[in-house]
């Protein structure tokens, strides 16, 4: 049942990321909802499930925008594995830890993506990384903190 819920969450994040996210754009910065949900899945389920779902949603992104086919699948599966593997060493229930984890994950994800992208030359990677990734990491971390706080409140009110 958890796998179905995680798949539906990732599909919802994909739909929101490709359609509705333009409304949340601030100075050409958009939060990465797919990465946010993938971090949640990795912290809850571990490396195997997170790697498989990261590959699936990354491949779905690649099919949607096929300029660098396979790059999203590679980066998302690596992120899923890394967070899932390190989850036993992380206090995942602490909101500050989750925000720091989201911030660092977005930075690493974007760095690897920019290095592998054919649209960006290697000499331009530091500029793109500093220009877009820092703001996007802060924005995604802010959205993640709101979701984490809402989830914590829901768990305290409705312990299921």
d(CA 103, CA 119): 24
- Residue 56 domain flag: yes
- Residue 37 domain flag: yes
Domain count along the chain: 1
* Tens of pLDDT, residue by residue, the chain (160 residues): 688 999 999 999 999 999 999 899 888 899 999 999 999 999 989 999 999 999 999 999 999 998 889 999 999 999 999 999 998 887 767 888 889 999 999 999 999 999 999 888 889 999 999 999 999 999 999 999 999 888 888 888 887 6
| 0.85 exceeded by pTM | yes
d(CA 96, CA 152): 13
Whole-Å CA distances, 92 to 9, 80, 125, 137, 160 = 19, 15, 31, 18, 18
- Residue 86 domain flag: yes
- Residue 25 domain flag: no
- pLDDT, the chain, mean: 91
Angle at which helices 134-157 and 95-116 cross, to 10° = 140
Residue 158 pLDDT: 80
Give the pLDDT confidence of 66-75 residue by residue, as tens digits: 888 999 999 9
Spatial CB neighbours of 160, under 8 Å, sequence gap ≥ 6: none
Tokens of 2: 């958890």
Which residue range is the domain that position 42 belongs to?
2-18+30-157
């Amino acid at each position: 049942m958890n796998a179905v819920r995680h798949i539906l969450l990732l599909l919802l994040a994909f739909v929101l990321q490709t359609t509705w996210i333009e409304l949340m754009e601030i100075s050409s910065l958009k939060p990465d909802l797919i990465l946010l949900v993938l971090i949640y899945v990795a912290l809850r389920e571990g490396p195997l499930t997170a790697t498989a779902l990261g590959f699936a949603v990354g491949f779905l992104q690649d099919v949607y925008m096929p300029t660098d086919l396979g790059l999203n699948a590679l980066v998302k599966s690596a992120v899923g594995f890394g967070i899932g593997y390190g989850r036993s060493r992380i206090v995942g229930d602490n909101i500050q830890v989750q925000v720091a984890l989201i911030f660092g994950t977005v930075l690493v994800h974007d760095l690897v993506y920019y290095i592998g992208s054919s649209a960006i030359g290697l000499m331009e990677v530091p500029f793109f990384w500093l220009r877009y990734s820092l703001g996007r990491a802060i924005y995604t971390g802010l959205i993640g903190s709101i979701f984490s706080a809402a989830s914590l409140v829901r768990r305290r009110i409705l312990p299921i």
